[in-house]
Amino acid sequence: MYKIFINDKPFILSKTALQEERFKDLIHMSNPEDIEIMKWVRDIEGMAHKGILIQDPHPKLLFDEFRTHFISIEAGGGLVFNEHQEILLIKRLGKWDLPKGKIDPGESNEQAAIREVEEECGINKLKILAPAGNSYHTYKLQGHRFLKITYWFFMKTEFVGVPVPQTEENITEVKWFNWKELNPLELDTYQSIREVLMDAKQVEIFN
């Protein structure tokens, strides 16, 4: 499944239908013979509807077609937990977010994710536990369309100091949240980040 967010609205490619309440208002298409991907992209960009779910037996083929219309940017990020089973969130431009950033040349996805968490949150002693899936969102800049692909990782840290926000990246706060009590549906965040958190809620992180 691919959950791509355009103007914070979902463009979902999936083998199966989705039953979650938050997807009920999307336009649903099942096994389309010929889909004009960019027509739907422009509709979502123009706020014509709340998003679309395309059900197809080969979603990767549709995603590969989608990518041809965008310049891809790859990033790494972390869902960071401490020994108290709290998750680290940052506040960037007024919304809660997860630490992430662009992968530098020569870096692995994992190296970039750890570096970005360290830089944006001012913490260290990080260890990757497992991959946490990918997220996708698009934006337009100087007449070009970009697709940002972020590779997420579950991490743990033994850091016990006070996190420091990277203000030059428009981060104003770094805060630990109780993971069991955190409700992503009530968090003031971006839809793409909300989906990362919702998917993470389905994973048994603590053994």
- Tell me: do 78 and 16 sit in the same domain: no
CATH of the domain at 175: 3.90.79.10
End residue of a domain, out of 35, 67, 99: 67
- Other residues' Cβ atoms within 10 Å of the Cβ of residue 46: 9
Instruction: Give me the pLDDT at residue 46, please.
Output: 87
144: burial class by Cβ within 10 Å (0-12, 13-18, 19+)? exposed
Total domain count, the chain: 2
Question: Has residue 91 been placed in a domain?
Answer: yes
Please give the model's pTM, rounded to 2 decimal places. Answer: 0.94
Cβ atoms of 155 and 78 within 8 Å: the answer is yes
Question: Has residue 172 been placed in a domain?
Answer: yes
Q: Name the packing angle between helices 59-67 and 37-45 (round to 10°).
A: 70
Instruction: Give me the pLDDT at residue 188, please.
Output: 97
End residue of a domain, out of 67, 87, 108: 67
How confident is the chain (207 residues) per 10-residue block, as mean pLDDT?
A: 95 92 90 82 87 93 95 98 96 97 97 98 97 96 96 96 95 97 96 96 82
- Tell me: do 119 and 153 sit in the same domain: yes
Cβ atoms of 140 and 6 within 8 Å: the answer is no
